[in-house]
Amino acid sequence: MKSEAAFHPDEDFEQFLGALTNNGARQWNWLIAKFRQKLIPFLNKRIHSYPQWALLSKSQFIEEVIEETLLQFFKIFKTGSFSSYSDLEATVITTAGFQLKAGFGRLKKEQRIYFMEAEALSALQEKHGQSIRESASGLAENIADIKNKLNQLESEEKDLLLRFYNGEELKDIADDLAISPSACRKRKQRILEKLRDLVIKTISLLILSSL
Amino acid sequence: MSNSRFDIETIERYLFDQMSESEKVEFQFQLLQDKELQIEVKKMRQIQKTLIAEKKMEKGSLSFFKWKWFIPLILILATGVYFASQSLFQPSQSPLKEEELTVPDESDKVSQQTEAPEEKLDGQENQAPPNIEDTPTETLKPAKQAAPPIAAADPKAFNPNPYLEEFIEGVRNPELRLEIDSPGADLTFPLISGEADINILGKIYGNPPPTLQLSIFDNREASYEAYQPLLIRSMPLNKEQEYFAFRFSEKRQMKAGLYYYIIETEEEEEILHIGKFFVR
């Protein structure tokens, strides 16, 4: 990355830290790039056998763990005190270890919840009642909503989304539907936006409540 | 019309891992700064996973439909093979069968009794490969029979789990400080008549949630990677003067070995402490 050469944080760590505290975009981009260089091999080394039944590919899973790690690091950064760059790096590596563990736990949970039928998910959600903070029922509620909405789509629309999200090229799908790729793309966007707007407020509530 | 201010295709490219490295860096920086984008990405990831799961479920039901005609055939063949092996090996194997089923490690006992296995506690041998028959629930279950002698303990059960070792005592949460009172300095719970009295107790300072969660793992890497704890228990916190106390206390039938425990917050699943103990 072109900004990489511009920073030697240990030469003037206080200044670097100050820029990070003020959300300096160049400093943060540099730091995230550095962290990613460390985290990707670190995580790959620790994931010896990635389950075949997982919903995401291994690289997508690693990206999800990195994302969670950076979000957690960002929280720690706001309250913690650091005296050197290696302090920052040690914190992010430790955080990644925990997020990887949480990621493995999430895989298990997801295997149960995403493969349940919408009715069973709704029942699970009802069983847990009002407690939206309970992660399994919160997730079940969202997935039940997505599944219900998916089932309300025209079968052609649902098929389009399923094919695209399972790796088929938009051009091939467009050919099968006898429409142009750009029309296919627009159709996919429109359906997705409907779905996305539908995903209820649980995530928002959970994230906002953590603020 | 979408209510969102975010470009759905950019998020898709991020989730599909189709961005260049520099794009990912910039996107993740934006993510750190923007709570709404975090929500959007979470929503889209749930949609992505749902769509993948739906497709897999479709495929699963189709492949079951194709294969269901083979199931009776496979069962018949398996039954035939079983009876054939019974009649071939009956004279020499049958007396051991029942013993093997109830005490999986028994077959190793004679050869290990002379090897002083406890000296190998810190050995660098490889982890035992995951053994489907030796499931966690079999390892830690209510007492039904006397445990094998300590000399029969599997030395591999004491091999450190390198991944978890790395994080022992390494958790830093500036808001929730945790102190462990038990296991004590020797990290050992004695094995008496096949049972160990496991006591994990300590204090937590700060403003913790009302309940913590304790998970205990055996020492195998596979157990942790597949997230298969031997047990999971809620630990309600009791308010004391300056801290909250937590306690897990249970007498269980266990095998001699090295075990790891993880204490985390129950709802957020935030790890507060990783520790270990020996049973011997």
Please indicate whether residue B89 or residue B258 has the higher confidence score (pLDDT).
B258
pLDDT tier for residue B243 given thresholds of 50, 70 and 90:
very high
Residue B20: predicted pLDDT = 93
ipTM of predicted complex = 0.86
Is the model's pTM score more than 0.80? no
| pLDDT of residue B118 exceeding 50 | no
**Chain A residues lying within 8 Å of B8, measured CB to CB:** 189, 192-193, 196
Average pLDDT value for residue range B6-18: 91
Burial of B194 (0-12, 13-18, 19+ CB in 10 A): middle
pLDDT at A195 over 60: yes
In this prediction, residue A194 carries a pLDDT of: 79
* In the predicted structure, residue A153 carries a pLDDT above the cut 90: no
Hey, is the C-beta of A118 within 8 angstroms of any chain B C-beta? no
B24/B17 Cα distance (integer angstroms): 9
Please give the Cα distance from A208 to B39 (Å, whole number): 9
B58 close contact with A: CB closer than 8 A? yes
Rounded to the nearest angstrom, the gap between the alpha carbon of residue B129 and the centroid of all alpha carbons in its chain is 14
B233 interfaces chain A, CB cutoff of 8 Å: no
Question: In this structure, are residues A155 and A182 in contact, taking their beta carbons and an 8 Å threshold?
Answer: no
pLDDT at A52: 83
Residue B124: pLDDT band by 50, 70, 90 thresholds? very low
CB contact at 8 A, B200 and B188: no
Q: Write down the pLDDT at residue B98.
A: 32
Is the pLDDT at A38 greater than 60, yes or no? yes
Write out the two tokens for A86.
């290696």
- Residue from B43, B262, B263 whose CB has the most chain A CBs within 10 Å, to mutate: B43
The whole-number average pLDDT for the span B157-164 is 84
Find residues 1-30 of chain A whose CB sits inside 8 Å of chain B. Answer: 1, 23, 25, 28-29
Question: In this prediction, what percent of chain B has a pLDDT beyond 90?
Answer: 34
Q: Is the pLDDT assigned to residue B147 strictly greater than 60?
A: no
- B269 vs A contacts (CB less than 8 Å): 102, 105, 135
Chain B residues inside the 8 Å CB shell of A32: 25, 28-29
Q: What is the mean pLDDT of residues A166-174?
A: 90
Q: Rank A28-42, A125-139, B217-231 by mean pLDDT and report only the highest.
A: A28-42
**What does the pLDDT average to over B247-271?**
86
Q: What is the mean pLDDT of residues A98-114?
A: 85
Burial category of B257 from C-beta neighbours within 10 Å (exposed 0-12, middle 13-18, buried 19 and up)? buried
Q: Rounded to an integer, what distance in angstroms lies between the CA atom of residue B226 and that of residue B138?
A: 17
The answer to whether residue A96 neighbours chain B at the CB level (below 8 Å) is no
The pLDDT, as a whole number, for residue A119 is 62
CA distance A158 to B51: 9
* A151–chain B Cβ distance below 8 A for any pair: no
Average pLDDT, chain B: 72
Cβ contacts (< 8 Å) between A189 and chain B: which residues?
Answer: 8-9
Which positions in chain A touch B45 (Cβ < 8 Å)? 64
Question: Is residue B90 pLDDT above 50, yes or no?
Answer: no
What's the pLDDT score for residue B162?
A: 74
User: Residue B52: its pLDDT value, please?
Assistant: 92
Dihedral Cα A108, B259, B193, B146, nearest 10 deg: 40
Asked whether the beta carbons of residue B42 and residue A203 sit closer than 8 angstroms, the reply is yes
